[in-house]
Amino acid sequence: MEFNNVKDADVLIAGAGPAGLTLAVDLARRGVRARVVERGEGLFPGSRGKGLQPRTQEVFDDLGVGEAMRAAGGPYPPMMRWEDERRLGTFEMMERIEPTPDRPYHEALMLPQWRTAEILHARLEELGGGVEFGTALTGLEPDGDGVTAHLTYADGSAGTVRAAYLVAADGGRSTVRKALGIGMTGEAVDPAPSVVADVVIDGAERGLDRDHWHVWWHAKGGGIALCPLAGTDHFQVTAQYDDPDAVPDASPEAVRQLIADRTALAASDVREVRWASVFTPRAAMADRFRAGRVFLVGDAAHIHSPAGAQGLNTSVQDAYNLGWKLGQVLRHGADPALLDSYEAERLPVAAGVLGISTRIHRAHRAGDAKGARRAKEVHQLELSYRDGPLAVDDRDQPGQVGAGDRAPDAPCALPDGTRVRLFDMLRGPHFTLLVLGGATPPTTDFGGLAATLAAAECLRTIRIGGPNPDLLDADGHLAAAYGPGPAALLIRPDGYVCWATEGARVRPTR
């Protein structure tokens, strides 16, 4: 329905950052009518969040952008410690971990935020969606049947949109969160401000290569780091200030001088300052992630220090958690009570991740290289919803993968011998019933859920082994990841096990 400046939508998404775009892509592939409005005239231009953790890479693989992300990005380089004009040697900030069959993405991928947003936006347009730039959400009126949102356009005109649900992906200063009166509880991670900027530098003659992340921890006025951004000719500059009362200047001239004052470079070596911003690191979380038909995702729900590359990744996974639930309610008639699980699952996760990023920031600030090192905990592969409302394990002795856990990958093969990965079979907006160890189809219907999903044509059953298998586990990787069975696991569209039960083993026929 459309008349005057009123358009109806299933979901209105405020904000076209990584969280908003991820949600829009997920909804588009589910056939959900989503409208994305963005206050800015274009996508965010800076690198701010530059690390995609392994779990986020799995999410993007499922959404059809993983290959593009990997082609555009690259690995994190080792660190090079400097003092004035002297290179003091290298060290690793990232714990280097080899890939395993169940974890194909084993370390963070460096990709500047602006490029991540470009790839997601291109995928959204490929699916028939888009973003309305220069469109600010300025007010909202939620009720029991939906939300009426008030919009202001770049030309000064105004309009409204009526949507069944509103998702606030509009950043740390979220207009939606403030309009709802939801509080934000947190603390300053660091009392002093920082500057972050994207620059182009001609510094090879002074030792500034692109094979290292260069740091001057003890520079006068505060530490500074120059990180070569993979897939570009840019460096990201991050400069901390020792003085809590400092008032940094983010103008191009000031950024050039800042680099010259704290490194071995001259101001003239900085050929271009593409983007710069001043911020004071904070850790804060909204008191609620939902109010009726309105949901908060990303920075609107939680604000992180950039240390540890957790903010963007947690934001993407908020959207991924919410997307399939909105899809089930809006497209497949699921009970709207399913949406209650969004806050129940994501709020505890965000609280835990905030603690990680805050601890890493403070260790880095103190010059504690060991404490600031990024280990497996930042990969977000261990995050679980075992204590959430959607995790049910009917087994007397839960296996190594329990209800609420991430479903691991495994190399396997089709019956004709074609090599595939389990993730290839899980990819898509459907649920997957994984029947292990040659088990018969489970006697339980998972509380009627399996039949409901099958009727809605959003359930795929995959039998491992037995007389009529869908996949062969010739190398034993599936059994190593999930256990030998017999068992059946119901895997959600976001790749987490939601129900597990025992299965009776099929008896071979003579």
Interstrand relation of 109-110 and 302-303 (parallel, antiparallel or unpaired)? unpaired
Structural domain boundaries in the chain: 2-73+111-187+283-379, 75-109+191-280, 392-502
Beta bridge partners, 58, equal none
Topology, domain 392-502: Glutaredoxin (3.40.30)
Q: Identify the H or E element spanning 36.
A: strand 34-38
Residues in Cβ contact with 147 at an 8 Å cutoff, skipping those fewer than 6 apart:
12, 140, 141, 162, 163, 164, 165, 166, 293, 294
Q: How many other CB atoms are found less than 10 A from the CB of residue 243?
A: 12
Q: What is the pLDDT of residue 22?
A: 98
Residue 85: burial class (beta carbons within 10 Å; 0-12, 13-18, 19+):
exposed
Split at pLDDT 50, 70, 90, the class of 505 is very low
* 75-109+191-280 topology per CATH: D-Amino Acid Oxidase; Chain A, domain 2 (3.30.9)
Indicate the pLDDT class of residue 372, thresholds 50, 70 and 90.
low
DSSP classification of residue 379: G
Least confident of 387-401, 437-451, 488-502: 437-451
Q: Which two tokens stand for residue 131?
A: 């973003």
DSSP letter for each residue of 311-325:
HHHHHHHHHHHHHHH
In the structure, how many helices (H) and strands (E) does the chain have? 12, 29
- pLDDT level of residue 246 (50, 70, 90 thresholds): very high
Cα 184 to Cα 487: distance, rounded to the nearest angstrom: 43
- Report whether CATH 3.50.50.60 matches the domain 2-73+111-187+283-379: yes
pLDDT of residue 97: 82
Contacts of 406-409 with CB under 8 Å at 24 or more apart are: 406/55, 406/381, 406/382, 406/495, 406/496, 406/497, 407/434, 407/489, 407/491, 407/495, 407/496, 407/497, 408/102, 408/103, 408/481, 408/482, 409/58, 409/101, 409/102, 409/103, 409/104, 409/481
How many Å apart are CA 226 and CA 263, to the nearest integer?
A: 9
Query: What's the rounded mean pLDDT across residues 297-324?
Result: 88
- What mean pLDDT do residues 201-206 have? 91
Give yes or no for a contact between 464 and 470, defined as CB atoms under 8 angstroms apart: yes
Element (H, E) at 463: strand 459-463
Mean pLDDT along residues 182-202? 89
DSSP letter for each residue of 394-447: --SS--SS-TTSBPPP-EEE-TTS-EEEHHHHH-SSSEEEEEETTBPSPSS-TT
Q: Give Rg (Cα) of the chain.
A: 24
CB contact set of 486 (below 8 Å; sequence gap of 6+): 436, 437, 438, 439, 440, 502, 503, 504, 505
- Which strands make up the sheet holding 282-286, listed edge to edge? 184-188, 282-286, 302-303
Distance CA 454, CA 408 (A): 23
Question: How far is 139 from 180, CA to CA, in rounded Å?
Answer: 10
Pairwise CA distance, residues 456 & 466, whole Å: 27
H or E element at residue 195: strand 194-201
**Please, which residues bridge with residue 238 across strands?**
196, 225
Helix H or strand E segment including 66: helix 66-72
pLDDT band at 398 (very low <50, low <70, confident <90, very high): confident
Q: Identify the bridge partners of residue 3 per DSSP, sorted by sequence position.
A: 6
Residue 23, CB half-sphere, CA atoms under 13 Å: how many? Answer: 36
**pLDDT confidence band for 210 (50 / 70 / 90):** very high
Averaged pLDDT for residues 281-285: 84
- Alpha-carbon gap, residue 139 to 154, rounded angstroms: 16
Cα(261)–Cα(390) distance, integer angstroms = 54
Computed from CA positions of residues 382, 296, 42, 276, in that sequence, does the dihedral angle turn out positive or negative? negative
Tens digits of residue pLDDT in 103-149: 999 899 999 999 999 999 999 999 999 999 999 999 999 999 999 99
pLDDT digits (tens, 9 = 90+) for 340-371: 999 999 999 888 876 776 666 565 555 655 55
Global pTM value: 0.93
Q: In sequence order, what are the beta bridge partners of 194?
A: 240, 279
